[in-house]
Structure 1
Amino acid sequence: MMIKKGLWLGIATGVILGAVLWLVEAVTGEEVYTLLMNIDFIPVLGDIAWPVWMEWVFHLLLSWAIAIVYLAWIAFQTEGETSARWATSLLLSVLAALTYFPLTDLAIKETPPLDDVTAIIYWFIAHLIYAVALVKLDEWSE
C-alpha cells in the first residue's frame, strides 16, 4: 500500500514542481525548468535526445523515490505525527533543492549560472511548494 501511495504522491508532487518551474521559466526566462529536466551530464543517457515525456519520467522517478522515503519514514519512525511529516518533507525538499548546485555545475546545455541568485530563489521556492504539497496531499489522501 505504501508503494502505491508513494507512486501517486510522487506523481502529484512531481507534476506540481515541474509545473511551477515551467511557469517560472515561461514568465521570467530563468531556465529553472530546463535545469529540472536536464540529464545531459549523465553518461550514455545524456547522449540520447529524449522526448519531453521521457524527461518527465526521469523527473518522476526521483519524485517517486522522495515520496516513498517520506512515507516510509513517517510510517516506521514517527507514527505519523504532524510535526514529523513537516520536518521530513522539508528536509527531503531542501536536500532536493540543494541539487541546484551540482546539477548546474555538471550541465552541458545552458542552465542558470551557479551564482544566479534569482534562479536559486525560484528553485528553492518551488521545492518549498513541493514540500507543502507532499504533506498536504498525504494528509488529504488519508
Structure 2
Amino acid sequence: MIGRVKLGLIAGTISGIALGLILKGIQALTGDLVYTLLLNIDFIPIMGSINWPEIIEFAFHLIISLIIGVVYSVGCARYFPGRKKAQAVLAYVLTLPTVFLYFPLTYLAIKPTPDLMDLSAIGYWTLGHAIYAVILFAVYTMNEK
C-alpha cells in the first residue's frame, strides 16, 4: 500500500505541475485567465483574505493533485491491476469533476478570472485537464510494477 501511495504522489505531482505550466502558458499566450483561476482561493474564508505568493497558491493546487494521484493509484491497484484501458478511463473519471469546477470557481472568484461563459477559457481549461488525465495515466503506467 505504501508503494501505491508513493506512486500516486509522484503521478499527482508531475500531472499537477504539468497542468499548472500548461495553463500558465495558455494564459501568457492568450490573456485568458485560466492559470489565475487554477490558483485562485480568494473566495475561501480566512485563506482568501491573505495575499499568498504564487508559489504557495501553486502548492495548494498541488495538494489537490496529490490527493487525486493517490486515489487514482490506489484505485488502479485495487480495482484495475494490469488493465490499461480501465486505468485510462479511471484517470478521466477522476479528472472530469475538475473540468466542471470551472463554473463555481469562476462564479465565486473575487479577483478577475475568465467570464463564466467564456468559451475559449472553458476550452483551454478542459484541454488542460484532459492533458492532466493523460499525464496521470502515463506516469502511473510507466512506474507501475
* Bucket of the pairwise TM-score, normalised by the shorter protein: over 0.9
Moved over 6 A (4+): none
Q: Once the 2 structures are TM-superposed, how far is the Cα of residue 79 of structure 1 from its aligned partner? A: 2.1
User: Which string of whole-angstrom CA distances, capped at 9 and with x for unpartnered residues, describes residues 19-55 of structure 1?
Assistant: 0000000000000000000000000100111111111
Identical pairs, percent: 44
Residue aligning to 2:101: 99
User: Which string of whole-angstrom CA distances, capped at 9 and with x for unpartnered residues, describes residues 58-79 of structure 1?
Assistant: 0000000111111111111222
Q: Does 1:112 align with 2:101?
A: no
Structure 2: unaligned runs, 5 residues or longer: none
Query: Following the alignment from structure 1 to structure 2, what is the Cα–Cα distance between the partners of residues 26 and 103?
Result: 20
Query: Following the alignment from structure 1 to structure 2, what is the Cα–Cα distance between the partners of residues 94 and 14?
Result: 15
Residue aligning to 2:22: 20
Amino acid paired to 1:56: F
User: Which string of whole-angstrom CA distances, capped at 9 and with x for unpartnered residues, describes residues 72-120 of structure 1?
Assistant: 1111122241111111001111111111011001100000011000000
Query: Matches of residues 34-45 of structure 1 in structure 2 within 5 Å?
Result: 34-45=36-47
RMSD: 0.9
TM-score (norm. length: structure 1): 0.97
> Which of 24, 32, 36 matches 1:30?
32
Q: Once the 2 structures are TM-superposed, how far is the Cα of residue 9 of structure 1 from its aligned partner? A: 1.1
Amino acid paired to 1:34: T
Amino acid paired to 1:52: E
Structure 1: unaligned runs, 5 residues or longer: none
Higher relative contact order (CA 8 A, sep 6+): 2
Q: Does 1:57 align with 2:50?
A: no
Query: Following the alignment from structure 1 to structure 2, what is the Cα–Cα distance between the partners of residues 80 and 121?
Result: 32
